Chains A and B, each alone.
Chain A
Amino acid sequence: MIIVPETSFSYNAHFSLSLPNITIDTFPTFLIGPNGSGKTTLLKILGGFFKVSPTVKVKWQGTLRETRPIYFAYMPAKPTYDANFTVRNYLMLSGNKRQLETIAKELELTKWLGRRMGTLSSGWLQRVFIARILLQDTPYVLMDEPTSFLDPEARKDLIESLSRHPERHFVISSHDLAFLSSFGKFVIGLRDGNVVFRGSTRDFFERGIEDVFVTGYIM
């Protein structure tokens, strides 16, 4: 459970995000909105990368605590990596040697473990990023636009991999409505730095979509 207080956050004169009280208790939760609506900012506030006051609270080992980055696995929109690392080196950064073989097998990465990151195609890289996130030993996972560079088939693979881990609490920022409809359970809709919708995925498609995106949005 993640509890967001009523607060606001601004970078500079150009962008501010105002938040009402939100309790995120159903996962996967999707942060949906057009570009520049504040999805990534909210994601970083949830993870404690950006500080707000009063602070975001996270349920961690049974008690509610002030949020901290180490409670989350975070996947940025464009992960950075050292091209010279092998896939195994990269995955080991999560510090989870025990699970490595299992997760690699699950994502069909076993034969790629010895390859250097710089030699992988973008589709395989994406799998490696997902594998690292899954290997990080935290219940909460934040993902920023994980489908933005994927073709429909790769997106299907991604959804399958994530679905194999119902024990993880995913919070995903996206504007990919097909992704939302097949994986999301709870939606926070953002527009111009305001939360304009909160509810289930079904409610979002029935009545929330036009508040978030311009009228006449074609899926």
Chain B
Amino acid sequence: MALLLLLYVITFFVSLSWGQVKVSLIWPTQEELTLLYYRLNRFVTASIVGAVLSCTALTLQTVTRNYLVDSGLLGVNSGAVLGKVLSMFLKVGPSQLFALAGSMVALIATFTLGSLGGSDILRLVVAGVVVNSVLSSAISLISLYLYTSAASVLSWTLGHIRTVSTSELIIMVVSLVLCFVLVSRSKQLDILTLSKEEAMSLGVNYRSEVFFLIAVSALAGSLVSSIFGVFSFVGVAAPNMARRIVSGGHLKLFLFSSIIGALLMAVSDVIARTSVAGIEIPTGLVVSFAGAVFYLYFFWSMSRDYSS
């Protein structure tokens, strides 16, 4: 824990001082102060995105009993991309609003399809796969034939961290609040690691609890992806790393996953900003690559004392 926090604090200072231009943190000039403000904005943004994606993924992983899912499970990411692509194609904006609408439509479609002929988690997940697949083909169709720049669509699917406006910041705070709602259900999530009947006998109203948790986490995830695009991997990696470090309840897991997620995202953002002079690599690309390498190292180095 202490090590993680230390790493996080180091990343904070590094992210402020490094960039295309080096800035001295002691006695900055007026110009440098402005630059520092933007870097701080990005650092906070990256951290929030990382934390939100980790918390939503952790929740969905517990509820579906599958450690490899993240907030894209129910189609919200492809919905957001489709919304964005449509707004570019129709040349109307703001594209964030379109993306948000797209992911909401995807979420509603998934829940509607998933509740046909009974409601259980498996139906919902299958519906999510279907919605994802249909939306992805729609995205490909538009980007291949209707919209000339497939590259900009591709870049959107990668996920960019950037400085945010006030209204975007409000949306991010909303997604953070949704995460706190998830954290407040830690006790219920702990019980949901048991079988359905055990959870019910311990007083959890299984169906409504599960659907509530899925809806809240998909919503929080869609808010993030409608602004920044799709970040793969961080949601899968962070909770799994947290599981290796701590054992037990979701309260602890939420804390550790969100710190790891924020750290991963903040570090990736620094790399994205600084590694190539003159241009910026999409943060989503860095986080997938760096995250995957780190994840692999993590599992190899810790596989001895833990097996399941």
Show the binding face of A for B, using Cβ within 8 Å: 44, 47, 49, 69-70, 72-76, 78-86, 88-89, 93-95, 116, 118-119, 136, 138
Contact = CB atoms under 8 A, between A and B. Distances in A.
A78 B194 CA distance: 10
Given A84-B248, A119-B308, 7 more contacts: A70-B202, A74-B198, A82-B193, A85-B247, A116-B247, A118-B308, A136-B202
Contacts of A79: 194-195, 198
Q: Which of A75, A82, A89 has the most CB of B within 10 A?
A: A82
A136 B198 CA distance: 10
Contact of A76 (B197, B247, B306): B197
B249 A89 contact: yes
Contact of A47 (B195, B197, B249, B307): B197
13 contacts: A74-B197, A74-B201, A75-B198, A76-B197, A76-B198, A82-B62, A82-B193, A83-B308, A85-B193, A89-B190, A89-B249, A95-B202, A118-B307
A115 B194 CA distance: 18
Contact of B193 (A80, A88, A94): A80
B162 interface: no
A80 B195 contact: yes
Interface of B: 62, 65, 190-191, 193-198, 200-203, 243, 247-249, 306-308
Contact of B201 (A86, A89, A118, A136): A136
A116 B308 CA distance: 9
B193 A49 contact: no
Which secondary structure dominates where chain A touches chain B?
loop
Contacts, number: 70
A76 B249 CA distance: 22
A47 B202 contact: no
Nearest to A88: B248
Nearest to B203: A70
A198 to B, nearest CB: 25
Contacts of A93: 190-191, 193-194, 202
Contacts of A81: 193-194
Contacts of A116: 247, 306, 308
Nearest to B252: A89
Contacts of A95: 202
B202 A49 contact: no
A72 B202 contact: no
A74 B306 CA distance: 29
Q: Which of B195, B200, B201, B307 has the most CB of A within 10 A?
A: B201
Contacts of B202: 70, 93-95, 136
B306 A70 contact: no
A93 B201 CA distance: 11
B276 to A, nearest CB: 39
Nearest to A118: B308
Contact of B197 (A44, A85, A88): A44
Given A79-B195, A80-B195, A119-B306, A69 B200 contact: yes
For the complex of A and B, 9 pairs with smallest distance between CB atoms: A118-B308, A83-B308, A89-B248, A82-B193, A69-B200, A69-B201, A74-B197, A74-B201, A84-B243
A81 B201 CA distance: 15
Given A89-B249, A118-B306, A118-B308, A76 B195 contact: yes
B82 to A, nearest CB: 35
B247 A89 contact: yes
B201 A84 contact: no
Contacts of B193: 80-82, 85, 93
A87 to B, nearest CB: 10
B248 A86 contact: yes
